[in-house]
Amino acid sequence: MREVVIVGGSIAAVTAADALRQQGHDGPITIVSDERHAPYVRPPLSKGMLKGTESVDSVFMAPLRADLDFRPKTRARGLDLGRRRVLLEGGEELPYDGLVVASGARARRLGPPEAGELVVRDLDDALRLREIFATARSVVIVGGGFLGMEIASTARGLGLDVTVVDRDPPLVRQFGAFLAGHMTRAALAAGVRLVRAPEGVRLAGTPATAVLTGEGAPLEADVIVTAAGDLPNVEWLAGSGVGDPGGLLVDERCRVAPGVVAAGDVVARVADHTGLPRRSPHWGSAIDQARAAAQALLKGDEAPEYRPSPYYWTEQWGLDIKICGRILPGCETHVVTGSMEEGSALLQWTRDGATVAAATVNHRMPVVKLRKLAAAPVPERTTG
Amino acid sequence: MRIIVDEARCEGYGFCAEAAPHLLELDDEGELTVLAEQVPEDERANAEAAVRVCPVAALKLAP
Ligand SMILES: Cc1cc2nc3c(=O)[nH]c(=O)nc-3n(C[C@H](O)[C@H](O)[C@H](O)COP(=O)(O)OP(=O)(O)OC[C@H]3O[C@@H](n4cnc5c(N)ncnc54)[C@H](O)[C@@H]3O)c2cc1C
Ligand code: SF4
């Protein structure tokens, strides 16, 4: 393996480059990113950075290794698998022996791109919203998932009048009814208005000034933010023969095609329990997949298989929540230590008698231990 | 080279310890411990990788 090209400029790309070097690859590595910024971290963009308690500088990663060729403002627009070339906007072609696709995901928008819809995906989005929040009095957030509720918590902390609208009750899909219920109560106690719109919503105005829910009066606010999920960046792969709209499918070693691997938010894998491809758009998954992908590129079939071990977190309403495993529909919740009322707890989830997930709520514990608890039996007294 | 942990920032996610298991470890309370005061030359790449995977910029390298 000589020349490696990495498409993407975020955590999956950076970790893949580090892992290739750690595993002994000493050939050239070129990273192309269509962003104007050096690599930075996204999790604070809806939390401390948006609130203003974290400086903009603090989101940038430590400088990359000097032996990488990092090219910002460079967009890949095509892939020629047969000739092993990445085609760049502007016409340049980058030959590769090994390619890492780490093009991530983007915010899903409800309207056309020119409508100027506010989202929080990249640093410029967060900087813009931070400035708007500084003078706004009210915000409607479309989407009650992780991101929507984090933005709601931040906006409320800044003193804005906050409404969250979603088809479903907030966070139930991600956290199950028990934990989602607790977080919803925390949001309500903080003064947030929650609106259900089972038929979905439409934005009115360009830029949006109101949200139409299909029933009742339009929801109006100084600011409308869309937090309706994300879509994998696969369009640049069109015509190459790989890349579905639902994500870039990889095998058990994060491989896509000969000489091509992928990692992070762009990736879809067939999940064991459903047989359907799904993405795992979390920080930890991007890191684990990038390490596995780097190994597969260098060692092929000799590389160990990637075994997903989902781990993600959120911070909202003063609750610091870390979760290992997957809270699947139909799970039973067990409070192992502490209690939600006391504001600190350790939780486990079981399904058909088997433990499938564990979480800490304002409770510090080594992640290694939490990972073990995500598969360990639930202590007897807490069952039921 | 030394690794410096900003304890006020560290959230105990542990990504750094996975990147550099010989240098960093989470203790029983979930607090991050630096295992090696001085980073040996052959651990340098791991130390740098550990600093970059932290989502809250809680680690720094000092000469
Ligand atoms: C606001 C926010 C908060 C989050 N909070 C958490 C959290 O608390 N916990 C958690 O676990 N996860 C969180 N996440 C998710 C986490 O940040 C992502 O899983 C992670 O960033 C994925 O990394 P990635 O490298 O795969 O993709 P991305 O971060 O999406 O990066 C992909 C990069 O590739 C570039 N790119 C795309 N297409 C091209 C192209 N054709 N040519 C060149 N470059 C291209 C993009 O511009 C981008 O820079 C959050 C995400 C956001 C947006
Ligand atoms: S990755 Fe960062 S937050 Fe997590 S344990 Fe390491 S230093 Fe602390």
pLDDT higher than 90, residue B27: no
Q: State residue A356's pLDDT score.
A: 94
In terms of residue numbers, what domain contains B19?
Answer: 2-62
Smallest Cβ–Cβ distance between B55 and the set A22, A62, A283 belongs to: A283
Residues of chain B found within 8 Å of residue A62, distances taken between Cβ atoms: 48, 51-52, 60-61
A6: CA distance to ligand 1 center in Å?
Answer: 14
- Across the interface, do B55 and A366 touch by the CB < 8 Å criterion? no
Which residue from B minimizes the CA distance to A60?
Answer: B57
- Say if B46 is an interface residue toward chain A (CB within 8 Å): yes
Pocket of ligand 2 contains residue B19 by CB under 6 Å: no
- What residues contact A141, with CB distance under 8 A and at least 6 apart? A148, A151, A152, A155, A162, A163, A164, A165, A225, A227
Residues of chain B found within 8 Å of residue A24, distances taken between Cβ atoms: none
Counting from 1 in the atom list of ligand 2, the atom nearest the Cα of B15 is 1
Phi, psi of A114 (to 5 degrees): -75, -5
Residues of chain A with pLDDT under 70: 272-273, 381-384
Q: State residue A215's pLDDT score.
A: 84
A91 min Cα distance to partner chain B (Å)? 32
Q: State residue A383's pLDDT score.
A: 45
CATH number, domain containing residue B15? 3.30.70.20
Ligand nearest to the CA of A320: 1
Q: State residue A343's pLDDT score.
A: 87
The label of the residue with tokens 């009115």 reads A204
Q: State residue A328's pLDDT score.
A: 83
Q: State residue A381's pLDDT score.
A: 60
Complex ipTM value: 0.91
- Number of domains within chain B: 1
CA distance A336 to A350: 12
Could you check whether the bond before residue A207 is cis, i.e. omega within 30 degrees of 0? yes
**HSE-CB for A311 with a 13 A CA cutoff:** 23
Q: Which of B5, B7, B10, B18 to mutate to test the pocket of ligand 2 (most atoms within 8 A of CB)?
A: B10
CA distance A261 to A240: 14
Q: Which of B13, B60, B61 to mutate to test the pocket of ligand 2 (most atoms within 8 A of CB)?
A: B13
Pocket of ligand 2 contains residue B6 by CB under 6 Å: no
Please choose, from the candidates A146, A165, A156, the residue with its C-alpha nearest in 3D space to the C-alpha of residue A187: A156
Q: Which of A103, A106, A285 to mutate to test the pocket of ligand 1 (most atoms within 8 A of CB)?
A: A103
B13: CA distance to ligand 2 center in Å?
Answer: 5
The label of the residue with tokens 């290794």 reads A65
